[in-house]
Structure 1
Amino acid sequence: MLLSNPDLSSFNPLSRHNPPPASTEHRTGLARAGGGAGQVIFRKTAEGCGMDGVLRWLAGGEESGSRQPPTDEQGSAVVEFVFLALLLMVPLVYFVITVGQIQGGSFAVVGAADQAAKVYVAQPDASTAQSTAEQAVALALSDFGHQVERASLVTTCNPSDCQAAGTTVTVTVSLTIPLPFVPFAEGLTATRVEASSTQIVGRYR
Structure 2
Amino acid sequence: MARPGDADRFARFVDRLSSIVGAEPDIHEVEPRAIDDGEVFALAFVDVPEPGFVTGVTYGLSPWQRLHERPVRELCITMRSTGSAWPKVPARVVAALRGLCPFDPGMVIGYKEPYVPPSGLSSLVLAPILPVPALSDGIDVTAPGGDTDDLVELVAVYPVWPSERDAVRAEGLRVVLDSDWDPYDAARAAVL
Task: Say whether the fold is shared (TM-score over 0.5).
Answer: no
Greater C-alpha Rg: 1
* TM-score in terms of structure 1 length: 0.24
- In terms of fraction of residues, the more strand-rich structure is 2
* TM-score in terms of structure 2 length: 0.25
- In terms of fraction of residues, the more helix-rich structure is 1
